[in-house]
């Protein structure tokens, strides 16, 4: 049995305590490939490489079966707010 | 579960230290720069080519021991893996973010 989207969500929710989490199964259902957007306080003060490492180690068990993991966004809540405001300004 | 086998022995670590410092930019990927065998590897190759920086690629599909050892060496679970000035820089997503800036 492969890794499920729900399994990835549950693991990240319990370990990273995200304020926003989006997991997309990009494998077409076989569970081998996921794209992730995650917003968490735990990223505060961490560089991008460190943030991705945190996600990778949170998913260490799942990574044994996942072939491709794409971390599209790893933001702090403050950064997410700033990004949303700037995109709203551009749209206006 | 504990592991009783490590692909990264001291001799291989010394070799990898030399390989990642052999060029300013070294990319471990699936395939090579002229024939990438995966979309993520291809993305990083295209970024490096567009930046016009000289870089060396090594095909991890040709050597399973190298592939396993590199995961431990960089503490990074997937490929491609980009090294700059001998230091692990990141995978595809990180390279894309920095290329956008």
pTM to 2 decimal places: 0.86
Q: What is the ipTM of this complex?
A: 0.81
B92 touches chain A (CB under 8 A): yes
| SS3 state of residue B53 | coil
B60-88 per-position pLDDT tens digit: 999 999 999 999 999 999 999 999 999 99
Does A69 contact B78 at a Cβ distance shorter than 8 Å?
yes
Task: State the residue range of the domain holding A19.
Answer: 5-89
Contact list in B for residue A60 (CB cut-off 8 A) is 77
Chosen for mutation from A8, A33, A48 (greatest number of chain B CBs closer than 10 Å) is A48
Contact list in A for residue B97 (CB cut-off 8 A) is 48
Q: Which residues of A8-25 are buried (b: 16+ CB within 10 A; e: fewer)?
A: bbebbeeebebeebebeb
The conformation of residue A44, written as its DSSP 8-state character, comes to T
Per-residue model confidence (pLDDT) at position A67: 81
Q: Residue A56 maps to which CATH number? A: 3.30.300.90
For B:7-66, CB contacts with A below 8 A are 40
Per-residue model confidence (pLDDT) at position A88: 81
Q: How many domains does chain A have?
A: 1
Calculate ∠ Cα A21-B73-B45, nearest 5°.
70
In angstroms, the CA B57 to CA A37 distance is: 29
Name which of A53, A60, A72 is nearest B93 (Cβ-Cβ).
A72
Contact list in A for residue B77 (CB cut-off 8 A) is 56, 60, 63, 69
Sign of CA dihedral B67, B34, B81, A1: negative
Residue A49 near residue A61 (C-beta atoms within 8 A): no
Q: pLDDT (tens digit, 0 to 9) for every residue of chain A, 92 residues total?
A: 578 999 999 999 999 999 999 999 998 766 688 999 999 999 999 999 999 999 999 999 998 888 889 999 999 999 999 998 888 876 65
Number of other CB atoms surrounding residue A50 within 10 Å: 11
B17-44 per-position pLDDT tens digit: 999 999 999 999 999 999 999 999 999 9
CA dist list (Å): A28 to A5, A7, A25, A63, B47:
11, 16, 7, 17, 27
Contact list in A for residue B3 (CB cut-off 8 A) is none
């Amino acid at each position: 049995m492969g890794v499920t989207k729900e399994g990835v969500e549950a693991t990240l929710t319990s370990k990273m305590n995200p304020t926003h989490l989006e997991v997309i199964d990009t494998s077409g259902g076989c569970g081998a490939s996921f794209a992730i957007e995650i917003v968490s306080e735990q990223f505060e003060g961490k560089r991008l490489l460190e943030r991705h490492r945190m996600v990778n180690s949170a998913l260490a068990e799942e990574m044994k079966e996942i072939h491709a993991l794409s971390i599209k966004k790893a933001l702090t809540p403050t950064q997410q707010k700033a990004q949303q405001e700037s995109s709203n300004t551009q749209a206006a | 579960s504990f592991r009783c086998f490590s692909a990264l022995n001291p001799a291989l670590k010394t070799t990898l230290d030399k390989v990642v410092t052999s060029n300013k930019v070294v990319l471990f990927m699936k395939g090579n720069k002229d024939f990438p065998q995966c979309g993520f590897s291809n993305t990083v190759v295209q970024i490096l080519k567009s930046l016009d920086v000289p870089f060396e690629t090594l095909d991890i599909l040709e050597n399973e021991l190298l592939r396993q050892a590199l995961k431990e060496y960089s503490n990074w679970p997937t490929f491609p893996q980009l090294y700059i000035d001998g230091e692990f820089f990141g995978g595809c997503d990180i390279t894309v973010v920095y290329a956008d800036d």
